[in-house]
Amino acid sequence: IEAYLKSLGPELASPIPWFPHAGMGWRIHCDKVAFRKDERFKALRQFMINQTAMGTISRQEEVSMIPPFLLDIKSTDACLDMCASPGSKTAQMLVELGRQKRSDGMFPFDYLSDGFVMANELDTKRANMLVHQVKRMQPLFPFALFTNHDARYFPELGDPEAPRKFDKILCDVVCSGDGTIRKSPFIFKVWSPKEAMNLQKTQIQIALRACHLLKVGGRLVYSTCTFNPIENEAAVSQILKRTEGSMKLVDGRSLLPHLKCAPGLTTWKVTDNKGNVVERDAENVHEALFPLSLIHISEPTRLLSISYAVFCLKKKKKKNY
């Protein structure tokens, strides 16, 4: 695959410079419409369709590859993807797990070892799509489990007296999606401040449930495809506040040293549903929308790309939320 992509020339395909595994991540330099309809790309298009069907490549937005890498998955980790559909991040988590489980024996991976990826999706139809997406990766499929729950109330598993906890949890939460305007310009017509404010409660609930399910010493990655600090810094500040010192922000830059990143915002403006700027003491505006002066969100923990915000958190001590 690498040899074929190299043969296309750098004008059409080039390695992703920040990708941590050399030669394994590639950019295709053409827009979606041209790729589908232009006859010049017919051979490449068919190549990618065939390789995707065989499970040897996975096609996804470059920025959506970031969160799974920041989980720093090890071979025996119990991993949970809280909002998994359509499945590209789950697939990537499985690849990272499998990378640590290679075997020289009869089978390509050590299937008797600990470590798995549990993928959860609330919507039944999307859950079916999730399974289909991951099933293509047949050698890694035995390490995958699928659940159909509301992530806010994801159940404890195993012994009620000592329920299973997870080493790594990804919360790529539902969001307003304004970071995808580049590929979905219709968002300009439907976007409003109200959507982010309505979604923030759900985002915080999902993340708090993940904190409860996480082992002490485990890592949680919270990500969105929005620029809005209401859904990013404000939500993460509330997570840190409500977990009362049991969770802390950690610097994920060492895992992706070539990725450009920036510190989180410490101040931002809050508006009402009509877009009017409001102050903290305004009526009908929740305090969770505003910056918290005691929460140091300015550490270099927000990895910024064209359309993604990612925060890494570590569990310091046991706490029920």
Catalytic residues: 225
Backbone angles phi, psi at 10, to 5 degrees: -65, -20
Q: Which of 200, 233, 204, 226 is nearest to 311 (CA)?
A: 233
As a whole number of angstroms, the distance between CA 262 and CA 36 comes to: 35
β-strand pairing of 270-271 with 247-250: unpaired
Chain-centre distance of CA 85, in angstroms?
A: 11
Residue 305 DSSP symbol: -
Q: What is the Cα gyration radius of the chain?
A: 20
Asked whether the beta carbons of 302 and 253 are under 8 A apart, the reply is: no
d(C-alpha 110, C-alpha 113), whole Å: 6
Closest to 4 (Cα-Cα) out of 57, 60, 62: 57
Helix count and strand count (H, E) for the chain: 9, 11
Closest CA to 311 of 199, 173, 187: 173
Q: Which residue has the tokens 């080493």?
A: 167
- DSSP labels for 78-125? EEEETT-TT-HHHHHHHHHHHHT-B-SSSSSB-TTSS-EEEEE-SSHH
